[in-house]
Amino acid sequence: MGHAPARRCGDASHLPPERGGAARVRYPARQHRRGAVATDEAGFTVRYGEWAVIAGGSDGLGAAFAERLAARGMNCLLVARRPAPLDAVAAALRRHHGVQVRTLSLDLGAADAVGQLLAATTDLDLGVVVFNAGAESTGARFLDAPFGEWRMLIDRNVGFLTEALYGFGRRMRAQARGGLIVVGSEAAFGGAARGAMYTASKGYALNLCESLWAELRPHDVDVLTLLFRIADTPTLRTVLARRGIPIEATGAVSPTILAEASVTALADGPVLNFDEEDATDPLTAAAPRRTRVEQVSVTLEGFYADVA
């Protein structure tokens, strides 16, 4: 669940200038391809690959991603801690879409989680990986919670994500195709009391995904981070029920709608801000953020031209 962003316009003044005398390089990337993702089964699997991996695929948004990818003909590896919900989602995918489905019961907070996840995919024609797993905000003030609580959040929202993107990103770069989808939050746009570490981790994920999008574009690998305020998930309903808040009062969006929008926009990264209100806001809108990433990438490619 995201936080309403404190909108601030950023700049690139802290970045190094181009080297004197160095020619300004054109960033070597594909043209922006709005709506380029094929929705038919054959086109989608040819473009990306036969298998999707959904980390956090046992319910809610993760299950919705699995269903939307299976509808496009992708086989699915569902990963989460609890076997029973995984098996239920797997059975539904086989029944409704006739795809192959594997399940992996794995604690994604474990120290060797990424290693186990990568090992489970070595024999797959890897196409799309969805990262829908992470620690939620506890609502504690930064200085009031035991630091171990923040360490756990960092391990899940920063450590796991970084290592997994590194492993799967290198594999997709080598095969010159694939797609990475990271489920983020509008909390990435600014900090808030009782949300210090959560908003910081989401900001980290956003910047990492934008950078990876720029680096993988020349290799035909798509990267997208989904940003939204609130999704209508079982977890949210449980939290709201404890507080006596009806789901209808929150404006929560259906996971199926969010998943479909993300899969459709996969070639249109690096950001899908689902609740985007101001299409010109350079902080929150997808197009200005994309332009900034492209411009800064050109500058850095020139500045670091002597670095392999």
Ramachandran region of residue 105, left (φ > 0), alpha (ψ -120 to 50) or beta? beta
pLDDT in tens, 216-239: 999 999 999 999 988 888 888 888
| Cis-peptide, bond into residue 270, ω within 30° of zero | yes
Any idea which residue has 């409704």 for tokens?
A: 96
pLDDT band at residue 36, thresholds of 50, 70 and 90? very low
Average pLDDT of 278-295? 78
For residue 228, which amino acid is it?
A: F
Query: 0.75 exceeded by the pTM?
Result: yes
CA atoms within 13 A of residue 108's CA, in its CB half-sphere? 29
CA dist 278 and 207 (Å) reads: 20
For residue 31, which amino acid is it?
A: Q
pLDDT in tens, 38-60: 556 679 999 999 999 999 999 99
pLDDT in tens, 253-276: 999 999 999 999 999 999 999 887
What structural domains and CATH numbers belong to the chain? Answer: 41-273 (3.40.50.720)
Q: What is the DSSP letter of 40?
A: S
Ramachandran region of residue 184, left (φ > 0), alpha (ψ -120 to 50) or beta? beta
Bridge partners of 178? 221
CA dist 214 and 290 (Å) reads: 9
CA dist 263 and 39 (Å) reads: 9
Work out the widest C-alpha separation in the chain, in whole angstroms.
64
Helices then strands, counting H and E runs in the chain, come out as 10, 7
Q: Could you tell me where the DSSP H helices lie in 155-307?
A: 161-175, 196-216, 234-243, 255-264, 286-303
CA dist 244 and 110 (Å) reads: 34
Cα 45 to its chain centre, rounded Å, is 20
Cβ pair 287, 272 in contact under 8 A: no
